[in-house]
Every structure is written in C-alpha cells, then in structure tokens.
Amino acid sequence: MQKGFLKAMGTLLVTTSILIGCSSDAEEPKDSSADYYELDNDIEDIGDILGEHDIVILGESTHWSSEIAKQKVDLIDYLAEEHGFNKLFLETGDSEFNYYKESGLPIIEGVNHLYQQEMFEKYWDGKTEGIRALPMDWSPNFTDNRSASISVLEKNIVDEISEYDLELAEEFKRSEFALRDWFSKGVRQGKKMGYFERPTDIYEDIISQSFFGDLTSETKNYILSRQDNIEKYYSKISFEDGAASYNDYREIGMSEKVLEQMESNDKAIVWVANLHSNYDVTSIEYTNETYVEDKMNERVESLGALLRESEHSVYNVGLFHNEADNYELLPEDYATPRSEADETLEGYIGNRVQKNVFIDFATSDFIEENQYTVYWAGYYDYRMVPQEQFDGLIYIDHIKE
C-alpha cells in the first residue's frame, strides 16, 4: 500500500448531524418492503423511492472508479428522465468551472479529474439528458494536479489584464500561485500552514480599476468569484493543527453553493464522497491514522446535515463497494481485497448478497443497526452506524478489472 501516494490523491477529495434511523425528510415509500432492490433490475422501484424528494445525495466510497461512476450515471439519467431531476451538483471548484463554461473553452479542463470522463459530457449543457451539471465546491482546481501549473484560464486572464496594467497582471498571477501553493501544502502535503496571508488584495485592486468593466464577462466573474471564496472560506482556514477547520468550511461552502443555485421546482442530485454526505459526523469514529492526523474526529459540519436542515426534502444515499480489482482513474495500479468479516459493512452485506443492490432503511431491516467498520477506497477505515448517517445505501459487490 502506497500510503503517501493515496494521501496525496485522496485527502483533498475525501475530506468529509444525530438522528437515529432515517432522515425526517425521507418519507416511507408506498407498498414497498423489499430487503433490497437490484440496481440492474429494480430501477423503477428505486426511482419511486428517490423521486419523491427535492434533493438526492449520491455518495461514493471512492472517486477513482469509472465502474461506480457508470452505475451512478445510469441512475441519474433515469431520475432525470422519469422523475424530473434537472440539476447535478459536482464536487468541483466553481471559479474555474464557470470560467471555462462562460468562455467556451473545453469544460473538461476546468473540472476535477473524476468528471473528465466521457460519460459526463452530456451534462455540461443540460440538453442531452435534461439535467445540467453545476459546481458546488470552492476548493481550487489544479492543472495536472500541480499547484505551479499555469492553466489556460490564468494565461488568458493575465494576458487580458496586461493590456491595461502589466504590474496588476503579474500580481494576479503570483496571487493565484500563492493560493494554490498554500492550499496544496496544507491539504495535500499535511504541512502546518497558517492562515492564507496576502500582502495586498489583488482581486479587490483589480475590481476597483476603471478598466474592470471592460474585461470579458468570464474574467470579471472569475475575479469576483475568487474574491468571494477567499473572504468566505479560504481566509477562515488554518492548517496549523490539522485540517479540521478546512473540512468544516468545505462542508459549509458546498451546502451554501447548492442551496444558492436551487430555484423553485428544481430537483437536484448531489454527487459527493460518503464522508461529505454523512448526517452526523460527530458520531463517526475516524480510526485510520491519516484521518487521525487530519483531525477528522474534530469535525462538526457535514454537507448532508446542512442540506437536511434546509427547506428541501432530502434523501441521502451512501454508496459502498467491496473488493476492487483496479481503480481505473488512479495513475498507478491499486487493488483492494474482499471484505469478509461481518464487523465490516462491506463484509456484512457481501456475505449475504453478491449483487449490486439498493437498500432503503425506512422499509428494510436487511442490515442490523450496529456500528460497522467501513472503508474509503478499500483502505481508509472508519466506524459508523449506517442508519444514523444515511436514508439508504447502494452496495457495489465487485469492481472488476
């Protein structure tokens, strides 16, 4: 196990209140009492349960499997076509996403690695499937996962500002690098970084210039978005004592961005890691040493809980997988063995059914209400009671080569 590699790839994406049982928003479906529903054969029944709600959270136990992504995409397409879901919120930075979208540049360059797969192309304009992808994160996107990279976005903005003020353009470029460098060291490298400090507020300086109104709309919106995210989130975070404050502000930011983009009659799907969607992070025991180092046990906020507190009806689906032959989206070969112990959630379910299934906690007692060890990417362990954290779950039995 290459722990250092996994931590570098996973910490940014995996950073992750108490009601016993199911969400108060999750209404019991009519005439439904199955122990579980098969994903491939019972999608209409699953759709009837999920389709009653304004927001469906679809979690996942790894960002690195295209097979899991395909299972979720099939369900999303069905919910869009048959139940009117029209917005898909993704765990990707809004400043970059919106710039690439507005400028007409390939949107694939402005989203996190997971969403660069071909299966997501149909969601960028919202026309193909009737459901449109939207960003809900404030964390910066990195070109080629390198904080020092100069993206097409930044080159274009620097060139544009240079036409009016070369010094401001260079200061903008330095500020963008400093932000990514600070963030990368604190989140990905686990270094003890203090608050994000700037000798000058370059974004405000640019906004105050007489030429600001003459910049392209995508450039103006990017600068305004970055400035807003710094004030609301980046400036509140210190990595001097782990990533607890980052984890909490990430949850707060994502929930705020989802709710700000919800309009009347919208029905939305939220695509996130399980560790964001949990209803009660304070009752989870983060046992893996990486989680301990990152002060995950000090977390108090979660996207799932914050959305449940809103005016919208929410159904929260956790997703867990058992053995994996390969995680296709990782640049290195990586497999995880089958869990067989009943003390693990994956083992408990896998010992009783070897299919891909959906379980609705309101109508099924297929899973005993106990605390189980569960895994992120088959390796990072933590302990929880599933019924306290989700309204239901999807189980993927085997990620094949």
* Mean pLDDT computed over 166-186: 93
pLDDT at residue 108 greater than cutoff 50: yes
pLDDT at 372 over 90: yes
**Once rounded to an integer, what is the mean pLDDT over residues 356-383?**
97
| Phi-psi label, residue 155: left if phi above 0, alpha if psi -120 to 50, beta otherwise | alpha
pLDDT-based confidence at 28, cuts 50/70/90? very low
pLDDT digits (tens, 9 = 90+) for 110-153: 999 899 999 999 999 877 678 999 999 999 887 554 555 557 88
Residue bearing the bigger pLDDT, 374 or 113: 374
Residue bearing tokens 């295209």:
66
Angle value at C-alpha 394, between 35 and 300, nearest 5 degrees: 115
pLDDT at residue 39 in the model = 97
Could you tell me if 324 and 335 are in contact, meaning their C-beta atoms sit under 8 angstroms apart?
A: yes
Q: Would you give the end-to-end CA distance of the chain in angstroms? A: 18
Distance in angstroms (rounded) separating the CA atoms of residues 329 and 344? 25
pLDDT digits (tens, 9 = 90+) for 45-99: 999 999 999 999 999 999 999 999 999 999 999 999 999 999 999 999 999 999 9
Contacts 24+ apart (CB under 8 A), 44-50: 44/82, 46/75, 46/358, 47/78, 47/79, 47/82, 47/83, 49/315, 49/360, 49/392, 50/79, 50/83, 50/315, 50/317
Question: Is the pLDDT score of 199 beyond 90?
Answer: no
Q: What is the pLDDT of residue 24?
A: 41
- % residues pLDDT > 70 (the chain): 89
Please name the residues in contact with 332: beta carbons below 8 A apart, sequence gap of 6 or more: 2, 5
pTM (2 d.p.)? 0.90
Mean pLDDT of 241-265: 95
Measured in whole angstroms, how far is the alpha carbon of residue 355 from the centre of its chain?
25
Mean pLDDT of all residues belonging to the chain: 90
Q: What is the pLDDT of residue 278?
A: 97
Q: What is the pLDDT of residue 200?
A: 87
Mean per-residue pLDDT, 175-194: 91
- What does the pLDDT average to over 370-384? 97
Q: What percent of the chain has pLDDT over 90?
A: 80
pLDDT at 16 over 50: no
pLDDT recorded at residue 12: 41
Residue 237 confidence class, pLDDT cut points 50, 70, 90 = very high
Report whether 291 contacts 373 (CB < 8 A). Answer: no
**The pLDDT of residue 33:** 63
pLDDT bin (cut points 50, 70, 90) of residue 195 is very high
Burial letters for 320-357: b for 16+ Cβ neighbours within 10 Å, e otherwise?
bbbbbebbbbbeeebebeebeeeebbbbbbbeeeeebb
